[in-house]
Amino acid sequence: MAGAESARFEFAAPGRIVFGPGVIGTLAQEAAAYAKRVLVVTGRHPQRWQPILDRLRSSGLTVEVFHVDREPTVNMVRRGTQLAASASAELVVGVGGGSVMDTAKAIAALLANGGDPLDYLEVVGAGRPLTRPAVPLILAPTTAGTGTEATKNAVLLSEEHRVKVSLRSQGLLPCLALIDPELTYGLPPTVTAWGGLDALTQLIEPFVGRRPQPITDALCLDGMHRIARSLRRAYADGSDKTARMDLSLAALFSGIALANAGLGVVHGFASVVGGMTEAHHGMVCASLLPAGMQANLTALRARAPDHPSLLRYAELASALTGQAQARPEDGIAWVEQLSRELGVAPLSQMGLLPQDMDVLVERTAEASSTKGNPITLTHAELRGIAQAS
């Protein structure tokens, strides 16, 4: 393995991970082992999940449902927590994409800890620690991208501050992650692309960042191989079962990786852009990823030519291209080509204006994800990434 891994590290993951086609069918049985009263958080098409709700109720559970129709906000979590409390929910189940799962995690945390989201949010809130584990939490992703089922944070939009920030605690890891690739079979090509590109970014940044470790290194490289061989296939044919399984595994691996090894400047930018526009997170990451990789390479070569992350950029290039002697630039070119094929738009088409540049750079420099970047980038370098993207 290229590069210097941490001599000492800590590894965290969901209490249990159950993976495979059809495992969503066990949800009612699993939920009944934890509670009698359940809050189920689902997405904008609740009728899609009616059979799951029916099975939960037929198992003798009292079920309250909270619908998420956009990326989670502080106010949305307040409403969901109030609903859960009034229903005396003992278990929170999230069945949906990253927004649904982030909402479910935040509600479960606030049910256990009390208070308001701003008491605990980093950057814009008081940043108080969540001292109690969330109430029992089961997550079942219906997309393949965010890896939220395996992370120890919940990303919320503070509309007041126009920025995405996190609740962060080991206690946000679910007691059970049910990952069923069959739930992704009906995803449209655009959602498949955005999710896969989000997962790819979440595999690259932990691998080259400040806190690599051997467990996440192995997951990152395996996940990159899976995306390289399967994202185009799933984009072209959403019913390709092998490709769908690859993407679900890659997304899971990316969530575990970021939870344990951190992220980097691309996600630093994405958290800010997500607060300033309504652009999809995966699309934002993909638009920034090539320029972010290039800026890191240039800065490392100029200021830290012996840095182990330079070897890691070559190793990830080999994983993506399948060429043993690939150079870091080959990896960047591969990402650029993939983004073109999947129709990734530049930041200028996502609602950002030239006058937003100063705020974008300032906030990105302070973002928590940026602190995991392999090298500290100057404001001029950050501006260069934004302009190139």
DSSP per residue over 98-125, as a string?
Answer: HHHHHHHHHHHHHHHH-S-HHHH-SSSS
Q: Which of 161, 179, 197 is the last residue of a domain?
A: 179
Residues 198, 109 within the same domain: no
For the packed helices 265-276 and 189-208, what is the interaxial angle rounded to 10 degrees?
140
What pLDDT sits at residue 298?
Answer: 98
Residues 227, 325 within the same domain: yes
- Look up residue 389 and give its two tokens: 């993207």
**CB-based contact 172:152 (threshold 8 Å):** yes
**263: containing domain:** 189-388
Residues 175, 195 within the same domain: no
- What gap in Å lies between CA 78 and CA 30, rounded to an integer? 27
- For residue 128, the domain's CATH number is 3.40.50.1970
Residues 233, 310 within the same domain: yes
Whether 18 is in a domain gets the answer no
Whether 292 is in a domain gets the answer yes
Each residue's pLDDT expressed in tens, for the chain with a length of 389 residues: 444 666 788 899 999 999 999 999 999 999 999 999 999 999 988 788 899 999 999 999 999 999 998 889 999 999 999 999 999 999 999 999 999 999 999 999 999 999 999 999 988 888 899 999 899 999 999 999 999 999 999 999 888 887 788 899 999 999 999 999 999 998 999 999 999 999 999 999 999 999 999 999 999 999 999 999 999 999 999 999 999 999 999 999 999 999 999 999 999 999 999 888 888 899 999 999 999 999 999 999 999 999 999 999 999 999 999 999 999 999 999 999 999 999 999 998 988 888 889 999 999 999 999 999 999 999 999 999 999 98
Whether 110 is in a domain gets the answer yes
313-341, pLDDT tens digit by residue?
999 999 999 999 999 999 999 999 999 99
Residues 30, 106 within the same domain: yes
Residues 130, 213 within the same domain: no
Residues 137, 265 within the same domain: no
Residues 136, 210 within the same domain: no
162-200, pLDDT tens digit by residue?
778 889 999 999 999 999 999 999 899 999 999 999 999
Residues 257, 118 within the same domain: no
- What gap in Å lies between CA 129 and CA 120, rounded to an integer? 6
- Look up residue 257 and give its two tokens: 């990786």
**At 57, which amino acid appears?**
R
What pLDDT sits at residue 215?
Answer: 97
Whether 76 is in a domain gets the answer yes
Residue 333 pairs with which residues in a beta bridge? none
What pLDDT sits at residue 294?
Answer: 98
Whether 184 is in a domain gets the answer no
**CB-based contact 284:349 (threshold 8 Å):** no
**CB-based contact 52:213 (threshold 8 Å):** no
Tell me whether residue 278 is exposed, middle or buried, using C-beta atoms within 10 angstroms of its C-beta: 0 to 12, 13 to 18, 19 or more: exposed
Residues 145, 193 within the same domain: no
- What gap in Å lies between CA 156 and CA 334, rounded to an integer? 32
Q: Which of 134, 155, 179 is the last residue of a domain?
A: 179
Residues 60, 133 within the same domain: yes
Whether 3 is in a domain gets the answer no
Rounded to two decimals, the pTM is: 0.95
- What gap in Å lies between CA 191 and CA 205, rounded to an integer? 21
Q: Which of 179, 198, 227 is the last residue of a domain?
A: 179
- Counting the structural domains of the chain, the total is 2
Whether 7 is in a domain gets the answer no
Residues 378, 229 within the same domain: yes
- What gap in Å lies between CA 151 and CA 370, rounded to an integer? 17
- For residue 267, the domain's CATH number is 1.20.1090.10
Whether 161 is in a domain gets the answer yes
Listing from the earlier edge strand, what are the strands of the sheet with 91-96? 17-19, 176-179, 137-141, 91-96, 37-42, 62-67
